[in-house]
């Protein structure tokens, strides 16, 4: 059985141009994004192991914010999830699996969580 390291960023909020309906297509809407990345870890993490042996959590936040193309409208939030996963795969060959959960905050009426979870594996 292979060892696994999971890095997570939970409930990160970002404004993204997304949506199908006319009231959604001209203004960014708030999304709550959670990301889990599966990586192959080194054999051990000693007390003085450098960050380069793992991955910075800021890389996960970057993939869901500043790495999203400015001014691009994603019709579906599935496209946002794919872009996040692609960014993480491209920036680190140790990433084996990416799970992206996106909740559309603007359409919730009673604190329900409306959205998707997408899982992509390195091919």
Find residue 16's DSSP bridge partners: 29
Fold classification of 5-40+54-121 (topology level): GTP Cyclohydrolase I, domain 2 (3.30.1130)
- Going across the sheet that includes 5-16, the strands are 5-16, 29-39, 95-104, 115-121
Question: Would you say residue 119 has pLDDT above 80?
Answer: yes
pTM of the model: 0.92
Domain boundaries, the chain: 5-40+54-121
pLDDT at position 12 is 94
pLDDT in tens, 33-82: 999 999 999 889 999 999 888 899 999 999 999 999 998 999 999 999 99
- The whole-number pLDDT of residue 26 equals 77
CB 94 within 8 A of CB 36: no
- 10: tokens are 């939970």
Kindly report, residue by residue over 1-32, the tens digit of the pLDDT: 889 999 999 999 999 999 887 676 778 999 99
Q: Which of 49, 45, 119, 110 is nearest to 89 (CA)?
A: 119
Q: How far apart are CA 103 and CA 77, in angstroms?
A: 9
Phi/psi-derived region of residue 26, left when phi > 0, alpha when psi is between -120 and 50, beta in every other case: alpha
């Amino acid at each position: 059985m292979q060892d696994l390291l999971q890095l997570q960023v939970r409930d990160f909020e970002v404004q993204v141009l997304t949506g199908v309906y006319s009231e959604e297509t001209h203004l960014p809407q708030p999304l709550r994004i959670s990301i889990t990345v599966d990586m192959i870890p080194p054999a051990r993490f000693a007390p003085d192991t450098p960050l380069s042996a793992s991955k910075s959590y800021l890389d996960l936040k970057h993939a869901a914010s500043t790495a999203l193309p400015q001014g691009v409208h994603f019709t579906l939030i599935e496209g946002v999830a794919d872009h996040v996963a692609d960014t993480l795969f491209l920036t680190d060959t140790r990433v084996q699996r990416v799970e992206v959960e996106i909740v559309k905050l603007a359409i919730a009426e009673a604190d329900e969580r409306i959205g998707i979870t997408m899982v992509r594996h390195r091919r």
